[in-house]
Amino acid sequence: MNFKPALQGALLTVVTLFGGMLFGVVAGNLVFDALPGHSIANPSSLHVLLAALPAITGILAGSASWGIAMGRLAGEENRVRMAVAGILGFVPVAMIMAVLLLRIETAVVETQTNTIPLHRLFTLLFVPTAFLIAGASAGVIGLGLKDRPLARRLVLAAGLSAAAAFLVINLGMEAAGWVVGAPRAAERFTMLVVMFAGDFGAALAGGAAMGWLLFRHKQRV
């Protein structure tokens, strides 16, 4: 069995999509920290805008590069169409889910009425989120390749692989002591660490599933 396409899909997804997201977040935080008079508790609109620019730029560049890379695996030469597919597949759904999760987290913290432990709530929210983001992103890549049956297969394969990887990493880190919401968890940024580790695993698994399916698509055409 040829594992090279899966390996290529995994590595390309981590380097471009996950890498662009990570670079954007880190760059945005660095810009925000460098701004005079910045305040985490009460940030000004200008500070938020200036910090958001490099973050958005990194995400857009990463998703466009990812779309082009996935297109190459499938033998697609139209770089512009695949770059657009990469952006449209990842950015909107990722932004929507980020806002939605932030609102849910805020509501839970403010009400303090949740009967589910925070680390279980984290799992229940983020595993389906990994499926939605990976599945939607992969599906639009299939549409960019003008192959609807392939798009449906990519949604299921990438979505399920990413969700499974996020769940395994989340539970593994929990067993190792990285429990979201545990005492003093905020001191070592447990939620962020677990989230980014899960995202990394989801990118690897989802990218591997995509690489294999895109390789088979290239063979057929």
- Per-residue pLDDT tens over the stretch 98-119: 889 888 877 766 665 557 788 8
Q: In the prediction, which pLDDT does 1 show?
A: 57
State which H helix or E strand residue 166 sits in. helix 148-175
Give the separation between CA 58 and CA 43, rounded to whole angstroms: 22
Count of CB atoms situated within 10 Å of the CB of 143: 16
C-beta separation of 157 from 209 below 8 A: yes
Q: In the prediction, which pLDDT does 41 show?
A: 54
Residue 36 confidence class, pLDDT cut points 50, 70, 90: confident
Average model confidence (pLDDT) across the chain: 89
* Residue 62 pLDDT exceeds 90: yes
Burial class (CB in 10 A: 0-12, 13-18, 19+), 214: buried
Compute the Cα dihedral for 40, 45, 50, 55 and give only its sign: positive
Nearest to 90 by CA among 16, 8, 198, 170: 16
Q: In the prediction, which pLDDT does 181 show?
A: 78
Q: In the prediction, which pLDDT does 107 show?
A: 74
Q: Six-digit token pair at 114?
A: 């949740």
Compute the Cα dihedral for 129, 14, 59, 86 and give only its sign: negative
